[in-house]
Chains A and B, each alone.
Chain A
Amino acid sequence: MNRPALTRKDFQTDQDVRWCPGCGDYAILATLQKVLPELGVAKENIAIVSGIGCSSRLPYYVDTFGFHTIHGRAFAVATGLKAANPDLSVWVITGDGDSMSIGGNHLIHALRRNVDLNILMFNNRIYGLTKGQYSPTSELGKQTKSSPFGSIDRPFEPLQLAMGAQATFVARTIDREAKHMAATFHRAAAHKGTSFVEIYQNCNIFNDGAYAPLTDRDTKHDTQLLLADGEPLVWGKEGEHCIVRNGFDLAVRATADVDPSEIVVHDERGSQGYHQALAALTLDPEAPVPMGVVRALDLPTYEARFTAQIDHAAHASHPSLDEIFVGRHSWEIGA
Chain B
Amino acid sequence: MNQMKLHRTAREADSVIVRFAGDSGDGMQLTGSRFSETSALAGNDIATLPDYPAEIRAPAGSLGGVSGFQIQFASHRVFTPGDRPDVLIAMNPAALARNVAELPDGGTVIVDEAAFTTKNLNRAGFETNPLEDGSLERLTVHAAPITKSTLTALDEISELTKREKERCRNFFALGLTYWMFERSLDPTKKWIATKFGLDTPVGRANAIALQKGYDYGITAEVIPGTVLVKPAPIAPGRYRSITGNTATAYGIASVGQQCQRPVVYAGYPITPASDILHELSKLKAYGVETIQAEDEIAAACMAIGASYGGALGMTASSGPGIALKGEAIGLAAATELPLVIIDVQRAGPSTGMPTKAEQSDLFLAMNGRNGESPCVVVAPRSPADCFDMIREAFRISTKYMVPVFFLSDAYLANSAEPWRIPSLASLPAIELEAPTDAEGFLPYERDPETLSRPWAFPGMEGFEHRIGGLEKAEGTGHISYDPANHQHMSELRRDKVERIASDIEPLEVDGDLDAELLLVSWGSTWGAIHTAVHQARRRGRAVAHAHFRHLAPLPANTEEVLRAYPKVLAPELNLGQLASLLRARFLIDIESFAKIQGQPFRVSELVHRILELTEPA
Contact = CB atoms under 8 A, between A and B. Distances in A.
Interface centre among A79, A80, A88, A325 (most CB of B within 10 A): A80
Given A77-B302, A316-B285, A321 B424 contact: yes
Interface string A241-256: 0000000000000000
A42 interface: yes
B113 interface: no
B298 interface: yes
B467 interface: yes
Interface in B283-323: 283-286, 289, 291, 293-295, 297-299, 301-311, 313
A80 B294 contact: no
B469 A69 contact: yes
Nearest to A62: B466
Interface string A312-335: 011010101110111111111111
Contacts, number: 195
Contacts of B457: 65, 85
Interface string B27-59: 000000000010011010000000000000000
Contacts of B307: 80, 84
B305 A77 contact: yes
Given A44-B458, A83-B291, A105 B298 contact: yes
A45 B459 contact: yes
Given A321-B257, A321-B424, A83 B460 contact: no
Contacts of B422: 325
B238 A59 contact: no
B426 to A, nearest CB: 10
A315 to B, nearest CB: 8
Describe B's contact surface by its main secondary structure: mixed
Given A84-B305, A326-B238, A106 B459 contact: no
Nearest to A66: B466
Interface stretch (B215-223, B229-237, B352-360, B607-615): B229-237
A335 B236 contact: yes
B481 to A, nearest CB: 12
Contacts of A64: 464
B465 A44 contact: no
Contact of A76 (B297, B327, B423, B424): B297
Contacts of A321: 253-254, 257, 286, 424
Nearest to A328: B194
Given A49-B305, A68-B466, A318 B285 contact: yes
Contacts of B196: none
B616 interface: no
Contacts of B331: 69-70
Given A68-B470, A314-B284, A329 B191 contact: yes
B328 A80 contact: no
Contacts of A309: 284
Given A106-B298, A335-B236, A66 B467 contact: yes
Contacts of B257: 321
A187 interface: no
A142 interface: no
A182 B16 CA distance: 76
Interface centre among B187, B240, B250, B424 (most CB of A within 10 A): B240
Given A109-B298, A327-B240, A335-B236, A77 B469 contact: no
B595 to A, nearest CB: 34
A45 B238 contact: no
B378 interface: no
B566 interface: no
B289 to A, nearest CB: 6
Contacts of B335: 67
Nearest to A317: B285
Interface centre among B235, B311, B327, B459 (most CB of A within 10 A): B459
A306 B289 contact: yes
Interface centre among A67, A109, A310, A318 (most CB of B within 10 A): A67
A59 B469 CA distance: 13
Contacts of A329: 37, 187, 191, 240-241
B238 A70 contact: no
A335 B309 CA distance: 47
A69 B468 contact: yes
A84 B311 contact: yes
Contacts of B424: 320-322, 325
A46 B327 CA distance: 26
A244 B468 CA distance: 48
A25 to B, nearest CB: 16
A80 B313 contact: yes
A47 interface: yes
Interface centre among A44, A64, A78, A84 (most CB of B within 10 A): A84
Contacts of A73: 297-298, 301, 328
B459 A83 contact: no
Contact of A80 (B283, B309, B467): B309
A43 interface: yes
B447 interface: no
A55 to B, nearest CB: 14
A310 B280 CA distance: 12
A225 B581 CA distance: 64
Interface string B448-487: 0000000001111111111111100000001100000000
B294 A106 contact: yes
A47 B293 CA distance: 21
A60 interface: yes
A326 B240 CA distance: 7
Interface centre among B302, B303, B328 (most CB of A within 10 A): B302
A228 interface: no
Contacts of B301: 69-70, 73, 76-77, 80, 106
Given A83-B289, A84-B262, A85-B459, A76 B236 contact: no
B308 A67 contact: yes
B250 to A, nearest CB: 6
Given A80-B303, A81-B458, A322 B423 contact: yes
Contacts of A84: 262, 264, 305-311, 313
B467 A67 contact: yes
A109 to B, nearest CB: 4
Interface in B536-581: none
Interface in A9-63: 13, 15, 42-47, 49, 59-60, 63
Contacts of B466: 13, 59-60, 65-68
B239 interface: yes
A15 B480 CA distance: 12
B435 to A, nearest CB: 13
Contacts of B299: 76
A332 B464 contact: no
Contacts of A85: 309-311, 457-459
Interface in A281-335: 306, 309-310, 313-314, 316, 318, 320-322, 324-335
Nearest to B335: A67
A42 B461 contact: yes
Contacts of B303: 80
Interface of A: 13, 15, 42-47, 49, 59-60, 63-70, 73, 76-85, 87-88, 105-106, 109, 306, 309-310, 313-314, 316, 318, 320-322, 324-335
26 contacts: A44-B460, A64-B464, A69-B304, A70-B331, A73-B301, A76-B293, A76-B298, A79-B291, A79-B302, A80-B266, A80-B291, A80-B308, A81-B309, A82-B305, A82-B309, A83-B264, A83-B306, A84-B264, A84-B307, A84-B309, A105-B298, A106-B297, A325-B240, A327-B240, A329-B187, A332-B239
Given A13-B466, A70-B328, 6 more contacts: A77-B301, A81-B458, A83-B305, A105-B294, A306-B289, A331-B238
| A-B residue pairs, 7 tightest by C-beta | A80-B305, A68-B468, A84-B309, A80-B302, A76-B301, A84-B311, A313-B284
